Every structure is written in structure tokens, then in C-alpha cells.
Chain A
Amino acid sequence: MSVAYRVVMQTADGYEALAERKQRDELAAAVERQAHAIVDRWLERVRRDAAAARVPLTELRDGIADYLTRLVQLLRSRDEIGSAGAKAWADVAREHAVTRVRLGFDVSQLFRELITLHHSTTELLRADGLLQPYSHTDRLAELIEMAISESIKSYVDFRDYQARRSEAEHIGFLSHELRNPLGAISLAASELRTGPPQARERLLDILDRNVERLRKLVEDVLAAERLDAGEVEVRPVDVTLGILVSDALEWMRATAHAKGIELVARFDPEMRLHVDTKLTLSAIENLLDNAIKYTDDGVVSLDVEDHGDEIAVHVRDNCEGLSAEELRVIFEPFRRAHATKPGTGLGLALVRRAVEVQGGHVTAESLGDRGCHFWFTLPTTHH
């Protein structure tokens, strides 16, 4: 090969590299210029999802500026993907994924969010005529794909880590819930033995109450496990609403009254249902129990509506309200909104399972400082 030929070839390579570099710079500059427009367009698209998930937009915006900055750096760099620049961007992708786990996003929401970002970016750049050379489109697509896979992988890792950690917390929490009534029982027993005889009645009451608390705790844990293991048979029978709930309601009224709050029940006792009585009753009881527990003063109400092919059971309370994040996890086992209130952290998880196993749905909404509204629907095929 002649020297002259080599020089010509090298120069040609150099021109090509230079041209490619220039294109990259143009693309990077365009992304930078368009950054605000990309974020706005992206937010607009995600807004629908966010409204459904009750995620504030400020929280969604977070992380995206970083994404774009890194994207620009990568587009400017001459490195191949997989180099240090790409690693830095992967860090941003991971950080982003972690915030999504915290916000309670599921994987499909995260995926939709990233796809939307991809579309917003490419659409705007195409509108400017900046994605004409195919190499640009390819490079951008490759980068975004990398971010998506990194985000999803980090999301799954972090979610599993969270699950393992919260499992450990549950065990600690359950032992705390066990020790309080156990402590009261052991103290009351000692006092019965050594204390003055006039305290006997009070001590026996305390023993009764705390043994009942332990029984409820053990029963809830066992019921949750049975439902988890799918060992529940649904046996719907014909029953009227009045017969189904009257005993439980009386009991709940007494509990509410002892706390100085009012329990209002509005329903037609003659309403005919075809449901599994044990599961349905457990759902209603646990919702009322929860409402009474978190209402310090005010009213708890139960309303049951007949919608023909389904019933809707509404429980409203005057609790302190719940944040969007609390609402998202409230039906998960052990996710208690108010950690300082007594409770097993299982009641609402049991409600959800008892309702869903019968083909119904359960929902919660916060009415701010006016309280919370929980409701479920159950299909009721009348025979």
C-alpha cells in the first residue's frame, strides 16, 4: 500500500469521524435546547398515569432533569456505550428506579414512563429535523433502551430488597404486638396472686381483654396465611344483610362507644345477598375495626348500597387522613399508616383478600383531615 493511499484513507476516516462528531454535538445541543420541552411533554403524557396513581407531579419530575443531562453528556462523548459515561447514566437510571419503588410504581408504570420519555424525546427532535441521519436515531434508541433495562433491573432489585427488609420489620413489629398483651397478662396474673382482693374484678377484666387481643392477633395471622396459601374455599349462600351483620354491628357499636365515638349504620336489613358469609363479615368487621381504631373523636359510618348485580359497602371515618403513599400500600399486609396505634397490620390485607377472592374490589380514599373512606364491591348473584 502506498504512503499516498494511506494518507488519503486516514484523512477520509478522519473526515468521517469528524462528521459523526459534529452530528453528535448537534444532537446533544438539540436535546439540551429541548430539555424543558421534553420534560413538559413527558409530564403531560404521564399525568394521566400519575392521576390514577395519585403521584404528585413534582415527584415525577424529579430525576428526569438528571436523565437528560446524562443523555446530553453521552451524546457528546465519543465513547462507545458501556464506557464510563454510560456507567454514570446507569447510576442515574438506578437512582430513578429507586424513587419509583418508593413512590409505589409497579413495573408496568415505570416501563410506560420510560417509553413515554423516549417518545417525547424522539418526537421533538424529529420535529426539528434533527433525527434525519439514521445514526442519530439508532444511537438515541440504544441509549434509551439501556436506561430502560437498567431502570427495570434496579427497580426489581430494590423492590425485592425492600420486601426483605419489611419482612424483618414485620417480625419485629409482631413481636411488639405480642409482648404488649402478654405483658399485661403476666402483670395481671401476678397482681391477682399478691395484690389486694378488691382489685380482683378489674384484674380479671384486664386479663379477659388482653387474652382477647392475643386471640385476635393469632387468628388474623393464621387467616392471612390461609388466604395467602390459597387455602380458602368460597361458599356463597343466600342471606339477608340484617342477619349477616347484626351481631358484629352490636359488638362494634360497643367498641366505638367505649372510645366515645358514634357508629352510624345505614342499610336495608332485608337486602338479599348471595355471598360467603364468613369472608364478607370478616371484611366488614375489619373495615369497621380499622375505622374505629383510627378515629379519635367523631363518627364512623357504614352504608350498604344494592346496585343490582353487586353491593357496595362504604365505611367512612374521621381519622387524620392518609397520604397518597399510605393509600397505595394500605391494603398490603403489615403496612400500617399509623405505626403508633395498636393493630396487627393485617386487618386491611384481610379485607382485600376476603373481597377479591369473591370477585370484588376494595378501594380507599383520603378526605384530608375530614377522614377516610373505604369501600368494597361484591358481585351478588341472587338465586
Chain B
Amino acid sequence: MARILLVNDEPDLLELMSMALENAGHVVESTTKGRAVIDIARRFRPDVIGIDWVIPDMSGADVLRELTSTPDLRAIPVVVISALERLESDAKHRGACRVLRKPFRPEQLVGAIADVLAGEPATISR
């Protein structure tokens, strides 16, 4: 069991992802607002953060930058979730440890989170 924070502007996807992860035994918090991530992360202390690359108020890249430049949150592994192609190297370069491509099946999401928790080296889940 782990604590997972999800950031996504699509409420439906957020709900479905939370459902899949909760069914796998994780505790999930979620938000549709990129600006809220730092506050929630400080309070909720997630083991992994899953960020959608395209969100309305801040881009995934901005959220990632804020996280990696916040000393007490820097160590939390981040999984970037996106439908955009050609994103991997950019997201990795900015400090994401994994990129999960949309659309994905629930077991791929659960698997990606499990790999990150097990400390697997950075890879791209297709």
C-alpha cells in the first residue's frame, strides 16, 4: 500500500485512475489544479505523484519544476501521464522518473506505480 497523489484536469480520468489504484490497495488523493499540488503534497506526503502533462492552470512541466525545486518534496518520484507523443525525453529531462502513455489499461497504471515504488530504473510504459 502506498500514498498516491494524482493531478489531472479530466475529472473522469481522475476518478477512474483513483478507482483502479484504490482497488489495488493504495490510498489516493487527487486534484484538477496544478497550483494545489505543492500544498497537497506537503500535507498528504505521497509516495508517488502522477501528473497529467496537459492541465489548465499550469503545465505538467511547471508542476514538475516546482516539485523538483522544493527541497522537502524533491525526492518524491513523479510519473508523467500524457497522450502526447515525443514527450519522454522532455519529461525525463525535467525530472520525471516514468512516462505513462494514454490510453492505458488499469493494470498498466497499477504496474507503473508498483515499478516506481520498487525503485525500478526510469522507463517508459507504453
Contact = CB atoms under 8 A, between A and B. Distances in A.
B105 A187 contact: yes
B118 interface: no
A188 B83 contact: no
Contact of A340 (B13, B56, B102): B56
B10 to A, nearest CB: 6
Interface stretch (B15-23, B36-44, B68-76, B90-98): B15-23
Interface size band for B: 20 to 34
Contacts of B107: 190
Nearest to B57: A340
Contacts of A340: 9, 54-57, 59
A353 to B, nearest CB: 28
Contacts, number: 73
Interface in B56-87: 56-57, 59, 83-85
Nearest to B107: A190
A196 interface: yes
B101 to A, nearest CB: 9
Given A175-B83, A176-B84, A187 B54 contact: no
A341 B10 CA distance: 10
Interface string B90-123: 0000000000001111110000000000000000
Chain A residues touching B, majority SS:
helix
B13 A183 contact: yes
Interface residues of A, number: 28
Contacts of A36: none
Contact of B19 (A180, A185, A195): A195
A191 B55 contact: no
A70 B105 CA distance: 61
B16 A187 contact: yes
Contacts of A182: 102-103
A202 B13 CA distance: 12
A191 B12 CA distance: 13
Given A176-B83, A210-B12, A186 B105 contact: yes
Contacts of B12: 184, 188, 206, 209-210
30 contacts: A172-B84, A172-B85, A175-B83, A175-B85, A179-B102, A179-B103, A180-B13, A182-B102, A182-B103, A183-B102, A184-B13, A185-B103, A186-B103, A186-B105, A187-B16, A187-B17, A190-B106, A190-B107, A191-B19, A194-B23, A194-B106, A199-B19, A202-B15, A203-B16, A209-B12, A340-B9, A340-B55, A340-B57, A340-B59, A341-B56
Given A184-B10, A190-B107, A210-B12, 16 more contacts: A172-B85, A179-B102, A180-B13, A183-B103, A183-B104, A184-B16, A186-B104, A186-B105, A188-B12, A196-B23, A199-B19, A206-B16, A338-B56, A340-B9, A340-B54, A340-B59
